Structure 1
Amino acid sequence: MGPLSDLTVIEMGTLIAGPFCGQILGDFGANVIKIEDPGAGDPMRQWGRSLPKGHSPWWPVIGRNKKSVTLNLRSPEGQAIARTLIGKADVLIENFRPGSMEKWGLTYESLAAANPGLVMARVSGFGQTGPYAKRAGYGLIGEAMGGLRHITGEPDRPPARAGISIGDSLAATHAVMGIMMALHARQRTGRGQVVDAAIYESVLAMMENLITEYDITGYVRERSGSILPGIAPSNVYPAANDEMILIGGNGDTVFRRLAETMGRPDLAADARFVDHAARGRNQAELDEIIADWTRPQALDALLALLEDNGVPCGRVYRAPDMLTDPQFIARQAIVETEHPVFGKIRMQNAFPKLSETPGEVRWPGPALGEHTEAVLAEMAGLDEAKVAALKARGVV
């Protein structure tokens, strides 16, 4: 019973941008009813480097805490049933190409006429308006247009990706923020509204001072690899046995502690490194000095030494490290749940943590259409015979 347990959410759409939005709401108790095509369902059910036992390791996460209902939105009967379900919902999420909902007769205006309090979150590549609105907009395009791709990677190589679908996830997270704002406004007005979350704008919102810096100084930020230009020391450094350590010592007092820990207190008084600006100008030289100190040392000993002296540091985590780390364990950042095919599986927990009404992983992604009959009976008043007839016609 999370803080959103009084909300009913209809999730339409596929892959990550819309479904991650539904995942977050479901984690905190919302009754999320996911509408999927009766054929293959959400393509996320087939994603992954491999499909152990014929099932995707992606789907248990992004499909968690949701109910799966199959419904053919391209058929008039399916559209009518969708309209009935949406009429009893608080929130509708969709991430189809703009124009699809309108083509199916599911415009916000018509839906809100029957359900004035409806909040409709529309997640797309470029938003619902503007000359690019109807273009296909995947996350990688939004990441590039929003400025992230150009500044990610090594200076002498083409732009790199983050390694996850960060553009989609950012758009979904901003959509959740918009949903909660719209629900708050509904308490005063009684009316819902449309939340328009574009992937490229969600990425742009994270770009810190990139636009303003150019506007004022003409400086175009470029790829800088593992550093932020002018912020030093703050980098990844080598340790013994080909391991790596991150050290952040760019504050004046922290840098003095780092220099003393290195047995080089003179560095803090050196004109090249005496303050933030000087260290930024001599970043590469300072990084070489620190790397020469870290390179021969064992990672665990190095971490302990720096931690004892109050210098921010850390290892570069991989999945195995996360599963055994005491901080992850103490805060239950990773939880175990039961999957009908895989058995016990682990995944990241609901976040952020709330002290009184925390979120939780109640169940992993359901089987395709697992809740069709129950939901249609409860919300649309359809008995088994009617659902069977719809199945026979390919509507569900």
Structure 2
Amino acid sequence: MMNVAFRFQAISRRASSGCSYNYNVWRRVPLRSYSSAVSPLSDTLPLSGIRVLDMTRVLAGVSPYCTQILGDLGADVIKVEHPVRGDDTRAWGPPYAQYEDPSKTGPGESAYYLAVNRNKKSLGLSFQHKSGVEILHKLAKECDVLVENYLPGGLKKYGMDYETLREINPKLIYASITGYGQTGPYSNRAGYDVMVEAEMGLMHITGARDGAPVKVGVAVTDLTTGLYTSNAIMAALLARARTGRGQHIDACLSDCQVATLSNLASSALISGKKDSGRWGTAHPSIVPYRSYKTLDGDILFGGGNDRLFGVLCDRLGFPEWKTDSRFVTNSDRVQHRADIDGMIESTTQKKTTKQWLDLFEGSGMPYAAVNDIQGTLNHEHVQARGMVTEVDHPACGPIKLVNTPIKYSEATPGVRTPPPQLLVNTPTRFWGGILEYSEADIARLKEEGVLS
């Protein structure tokens, strides 16, 4: 216990000196939230004092999502970008958040970039130059975590591979996120979410029962890999507090996608049989358990047992279905799936979704409207939980962002700072405080094209 306590004290001392280099720039940004929660205080956040070097490019959206999670939890994230064009996602639009200053050129800040880069600081730097690599080496020495998403071996020629940086900082936790991992026959393939969804089983089980395989509506393999990797990084930080050593984390989309096949993979492994394919919103073993058309949309019911099926029958106005020999048990209903689903949908189409929601309120029956994205973001429960936040962007004014989802009793993670702008000068305190560079050094590096 003494070693663990000492480690966190050491982090705290370093954070109070080096990590505060951008404090005056970023703490002045007012944060407004739709919830009643107070603005997050950095010194109460779980990862306060942890410094992250974010060397991710958007070959996979998973990587900036991973480092954003760390930033939400209080880590000080330094995002390394190309000194001229920045992260590729800055150009992924429309839509864009428009600049308030009409004299400022360009379409604005892309919504895609804004989605995965809050709570970070941008550093425009080229490591094609030897001087750029020297800067990164100095940063790596002062960081707790490095996250990168280059193909295996891609950073070795710059001296930014794990083996090199381990010699510089043995405590460094180095996370590599790729499409197919550091080993295996596909390790040198570039991996995009949709390709991995296809090859690793998810696309095959997604879509209508009689339809073609489709990708999930968001890049879910990217997102789950980001979650797995951020979790692995935090576990490695705990291990380092115990052992004093860092380590290399090998995370990839393909492994995480196989892992998230979950019960379907288990069923296939145990039975040795082919899976049952796509089911749309339906369930292979429970009926009724799917969405049904209403007069103006869709509603989903989950009749997970005989009692809930009875509630459904009563609220729909057909209590006699409960004693129909075709529907008495779940096994009966699975056998006569088409009959009961057809009867339910012919009924739900007679009222609006809102009318059905009101009718089932308080029934104990699992039910839900099928909302679009705007309907979700304006949902009363989403608003009450503070899942939409507004922050003042220095160039675009007030912008709305999705908030971090986890609530703590002793801390308030959230959007402390907006996603950083490109080509906004990094404060001198950063160079003098962490890297001990003078203003003359900075001027020279800018002239050489190393810094933006």
TM-score category of the 2 structures, normalised to the smaller one: over 0.9
Q: Could you tell me whether the CA contact under 8 Å between 2:286 and 2:303 is conserved in 1?
A: no
Q: Could you tell me whether the CA contact under 8 Å between 2:240 and 2:246 is conserved in 1?
A: yes
Over the residues paired in the alignment, what is the CA RMSD in angstroms? Answer: 1.7
Partner of 2:243: 189
Partner of 1:392: 447
Tell me the alpha carbon deviations over residues 282-327 of structure 1, each in whole angstroms, 9 at most, x when there is no partner: 2222211111111011221210111232211111222332343221
Q: Could you tell me whether the CA contact under 8 Å between 2:289 and 2:304 is conserved in 1?
A: yes
Partner of 1:11: 54
Residues in 2 aligned to 1:216 and 1:271: alpha-carbon distance in whole angstroms: 33
- TM superposition score normalised by structure 2: 0.84
Residues in 1 aligned to 2:197 and 2:427: alpha-carbon distance in whole angstroms: 39
User: Higher relative contact order by CA 8 Å / sep ≥ 6: 1 or 2?
Assistant: 2
Residues in 1 aligned to 2:431 and 2:338: alpha-carbon distance in whole angstroms: 63
Structure 1 stretches of 5 or more lacking a match?
Answer: none
Say whether residues 1:316 and 2:370 are aligned partners. Answer: yes
| Change in 2 beyond 3 A, CA 1:286/1:355 | same
Partner of 1:325: 379
Letter in 1 for 2:64: P
Tell me the alpha carbon deviations over residues 12-46 of structure 1, each in whole angstroms, 9 at most, x when there is no partner: 11221211011001011110000111121111111
Residues in 2 aligned to 1:77 and 1:214: alpha-carbon distance in whole angstroms: 53
* Among 192, 215, 228, the residue aligned to 1:161: 215
In the TM superposition, 1:281-360 aligns within 5 A as 281-360=335-414
- TM superposition score normalised by structure 1: 0.95
Residues in 1 aligned to 2:432 and 2:67: alpha-carbon distance in whole angstroms: 22
Say whether residues 1:236 and 2:266 are aligned partners. Answer: no
Partner of 1:275: 329
Letter in 1 for 2:83: P
Tell me the alpha carbon deviations over residues 60-82 of structure 1, each in whole angstroms, 9 at most, x when there is no partner: 22111000001112222111110
Partner of 1:23: 68
* Among 105, 108, 127, the residue aligned to 1:73: 127
Residues in 2 aligned to 1:369 and 1:68: alpha-carbon distance in whole angstroms: 8
Q: SS of 1:58's equivalent? A: helix
Partner of 2:274: 219
Q: Could you tell me whether the CA contact under 8 Å between 2:306 and 2:330 is conserved in 1?
A: yes
Residues in 2 aligned to 1:164 and 1:363: alpha-carbon distance in whole angstroms: 25
Tell me the alpha carbon deviations over residues 214-252 of structure 1, each in whole angstroms, 9 at most, x when there is no partner: 233313231222212222211111111x31111112222
Structure 2 stretches of 5 or more lacking a match?
Answer: 1-41, 99-106
| Change in 2 beyond 3 A, CA 1:212/1:22 | same
How many Å apart are 1:128 and its aligned residue? 0.9
Letter in 2 for 1:334: V
Q: Could you tell me whether the CA contact under 8 Å between 2:97 and 2:399 is conserved in 1?
A: no
Residues in 2 aligned to 1:117 and 1:276: alpha-carbon distance in whole angstroms: 56
Residues in 2 aligned to 1:323 and 1:143: alpha-carbon distance in whole angstroms: 26
Residues in 2 aligned to 1:167 and 1:43: alpha-carbon distance in whole angstroms: 20
Residues in 2 aligned to 1:197 and 1:344: alpha-carbon distance in whole angstroms: 36
Partner of 1:93: 147
Moved more, 104-113 or 122-131: 104-113
Q: How many residues align?
A: 395
Letter in 2 for 1:324: N
How many Å apart are 1:52 and its aligned residue? 4.9
| Change in 2 beyond 3 A, CA 1:308/1:351 | closer
Partner of 2:27: none
Q: Could you tell me whether the CA contact under 8 Å between 2:294 and 2:350 is conserved in 1?
A: yes
Letter in 2 for 1:12: M
Residues in 1 aligned to 2:397 and 2:88: alpha-carbon distance in whole angstroms: 22
